[in-house]
Structure 1
Amino acid sequence: MLNAITITSMYVLDQDAALDFYVGKLGFEVKVDQQFGPMRFLTVALPGDPDHAVLLELPAPPSISADVAEQVRDVVTKGAGGGHLFLRTDDAHKTHAELRERGVDLPEEPVVQPYGIDFGLRDPFGNSVRVAQMTPPPSA
């Protein structure tokens, strides 16, 4: 039976710009950067998390047709490409300040929610990234 999600995919419009953002600003690490024929297979992951990676995928052949790729690029540019990452932190305020120092555009301040403290941002391509400091569940 299935027991893990190992790679999830997000469309990006420029893989080098995606590396600059995800590795250079958010602190991810490159897991795989390999050329497979006409496509570059590029995955990143958070340090210390060997089980989960994000494929930074260009909307292009051979995974989709050239016609569909153009439509996907248009939708991604509008922030409606469906790419979402939900990240956890131990200190939302500290992480927010560190990301701001690294030059990340942060349109939201950390906000107290019923589940913890969180804030959101978008990557350079319009994909949504949410960062949350989770409140421990009440003890039984």
Structure 2
Amino acid sequence: MAITVSQVSLYVRDQQRALDFWSRKMGFTVTKDMAYGENRWIEVEPPGGGTRLVLYKAGPGWPEPAKDQPGYVLFEDDDIQAAYERLSAAGVHFTMPPKQEQWGWSAVFTDDEGHLFHLGQR
């Protein structure tokens, strides 16, 4: 039996803003959106399927997103330049456009909550 990652929790201040970013700008599919206590349980999945993001409401005293330091969530696309152009046109802000590194192509983008993410090329 192989272990896989089914979901990753992303702590957000505003669940609706996060949902709008991931579904409208990034093109993710909403797989769950239901009441969860005083908040909502929201899961989104990349267009090609795979690991889902849980847009989890951060509580008081939770740490703020790291500034100027990409998180350890890496997204990949077969054509990073095409993905960069498509996502930029949808309103996704890139802090670093696609760049050839010694390990491969890499770009960095931010969501509307201030989290930074890597985008690589398969």
TM-score calculated relative to the size of structure 1? 0.76
Deviations 1:100-140, CA, capped at 9 Å, x for gaps: 11111122111001232110011111212111113xxxxxx
- After TM superposition, give the deviation of residue 83 of structure 1 in Å: 5.2
In the alignment of these two chains, the number of paired residues is: 122
Aligned partners of 2:67, 2:11: CA distance in 1, in Å? Answer: 11
After TM superposition, the runs of 4+ consecutive aligned structure 1 residues lying more than 6 A away are none
Aligned partners of 2:22, 2:62: CA distance in 1, in Å? Answer: 21
User: Where does 1:49-64 land on structure 2 (aligned, <5 Å)?
Assistant: 49=49, 51-60=50-59
In the other structure, the counterpart of 1:129 is 117
In the other structure, the counterpart of 2:79 is 91
User: Where does 1:1-140 land on structure 2 (aligned, <5 Å)?
Assistant: 3-49=3-49, 51-60=50-59, 69=60, 71-72=61-62, 75-76=64-65, 79=67, 84-134=72-122
Which range is displaced more, 2-11 or 88-97?
Answer: 2-11
Contact 1:8–1:53 at 8 Å: present in 2 too? Answer: yes
Identity percentage of aligned residues: 26
- After TM superposition, give the deviation of residue 48 of structure 1 in Å: 3.1
Structure in which a larger fraction of residues adopt strand: 2
**Which structure 2 residue ranges, 5 or more long, are not aligned?**
none
Deviations 1:46-97, CA, capped at 9 Å, x for gaps: 1231x4211001113xxxxxxxx2x215x23x538x9542101011111111
SS in 1 for 2:73: strand
Structure in which a larger fraction of residues adopt helix: 1
**Which structure 1 residue ranges, 5 or more long, are not aligned?**
61-68, 135-140
Q: State the superposition RMSD in angstroms.
A: 2.3
Larger radius of gyration: 1
Deviations 1:12-55, CA, capped at 9 Å, x for gaps: 11111111111100111101101123231101011231x42110
